Amino acid sequence: MDGQTKVAVIYYSATGITYQMARAASEAAEKAGAEVRLRKVRELAPDEAIRSNAGWQAHRLETQDVMEAEPDDLSWADVVIMGSPTRYGMVAAQLKQFIDTTGPLWARGALANKVYSGFTSTATAHGGQEATLLSLYTVFYHWGGIVVTPGYTDPSQFASGNPYGASHTSNNGEVPPDQLALGATALTAQRAVEIGTALKRGLTAG
């Protein structure tokens, strides 16, 4: 459908925690009526580092068929949802490297007037979840994007507790996202699609 809202869910995940959240975002976006591209960013870590961690190695094999993100996925999309584990309160280098390839799109205004949102995970409670999302949103502000967050728009958000975006505490990868975290991720995607669809209609009508 030409009028269908297009959503790119772009993520980095080492051992699969953020991947599970990315899938929840994709499924929620599809349920909301969007056409979705689920894309991982390119791994930068050396093979020996990945092989030294059984979970990391297993996840790489599990997601070997997931397509890698390209700048075209951003220009194609009306809505972009990015996810990354925290690295010292910022996104992982793998996602940042992808972001750093977007200069040509940014220079010609191709990233402006889109809806953006995000999700993250940390090893420990208070491990940088809000800081990571806010640092990611700084990129979107530079692009001229419209940031949409879950806020406290649903009663479940008073339990999940992060109005900036979906987040999860994994206890160093030992605890997979629970229904609360996946629900917050779905809500984040649902709101992004809702606002992105309204924006697209408004821009088309104008």
* pLDDT (tens digit per residue) in 1-55: 468 999 999 999 998 999 999 999 999 999 999 999 999 999 998 888 888 888 8
CA angle at residue 19 from 199 to 118, to 5 degrees?
Answer: 35
Number of other CB atoms surrounding residue 39 within 10 Å: 20
Please name the residue that has the structure tokens 């009663």: 155
What CA–CA distance (Å, rounded) separates 189 from 166?
9
Q: What is the CATH number of the domain that holds 44?
A: 3.40.50.360
Question: What pLDDT band is residue 118 in, cutting at 50, 70 and 90?
Answer: very high
What CA–CA distance (Å, rounded) separates 152 from 126?
19
Residues linked to residue 118 through DSSP beta bridges, in sequence order: 82
CA angle at residue 111 from 107 to 115, to 5 degrees?
Answer: 160
Task: Kindly state whether residue 1 falls inside one of the protein's structural domains.
Answer: no
Global confidence as pTM: 0.95
pLDDT digits over 56-112, tens only? 888 888 999 999 999 999 999 999 999 999 999 999 999 999 999 999 999 999 999
Instruction: Please tell me the predicted confidence (pLDDT) of residue 1.
Output: 45
Please name the residue that has the structure tokens 């591209």: 37
Task: Kindly state whether residue 122 falls inside one of the protein's structural domains.
Answer: yes
pLDDT digits over 151-169, tens only? 999 999 999 999 999 999 9
Task: Kindly state whether residue 169 falls inside one of the protein's structural domains.
Answer: yes
Task: Kindly state whether residue 101 falls inside one of the protein's structural domains.
Answer: yes
Task: Kindly state whether residue 141 falls inside one of the protein's structural domains.
Answer: yes
Closest CA to 142 of 94, 109, 188, 96: 109
What CA–CA distance (Å, rounded) separates 74 from 76?
5
Q: What is the mean pLDDT of residues 139-149?
A: 98
> Number of folded domains in the chain?
1
Question: What's the domain range around 128?
Answer: 6-205
